Amino acid sequence: MKHHPALRIAAVALIGVLPVCAHSAENKAVSADDLSEVGERIRHTGEQMREDLKQARARFEAQKAREEAARKRRRNARASWHARRQPNRKPNNSRHRLRPARRPR
């Protein structure tokens, strides 16, 4: 099985970068104060996200309520229009007159 030359080049490049990444990780020493500061920022961010989600949920619920009210208004308007119609009234246009039923052959 033949391997593509680009695969070999990529593997060599990754192996060459590995010592650089390991060296930069060793130099990082984190103090307890840094960790507590980071934890406090994370807590603050979490609280802000929860507040944003509450506001977004409230906007969503309000939008749903507005849409439902609009649907009810349209439904009631249609129902009142149908109730006002006179179902037995024949239209004036001759094209709309009822035709007698055809007899089956």
Cα(1)–Cα(23) distance, rounded to whole angstroms?
36
Looking at residue 45, its amino acid is T
Q: In whole angstroms, how far apart are CA 35 and each of 14, 44, 46, 59?
A: 31, 14, 16, 36
**What is the pTM for the complete model shown?**
0.44
Cα(73)–Cα(79) distance, rounded to whole angstroms?
10
Percent of all residues in the chain with a pLDDT value above 90, rounded to a whole number: 34
The beta strand positions in 2-98, using DSSP E, are none
Across residues 25-42, what is the average pLDDT? 80
In tens, the pLDDT along 42-68 reads: 999 999 999 999 999 999 999 999 999
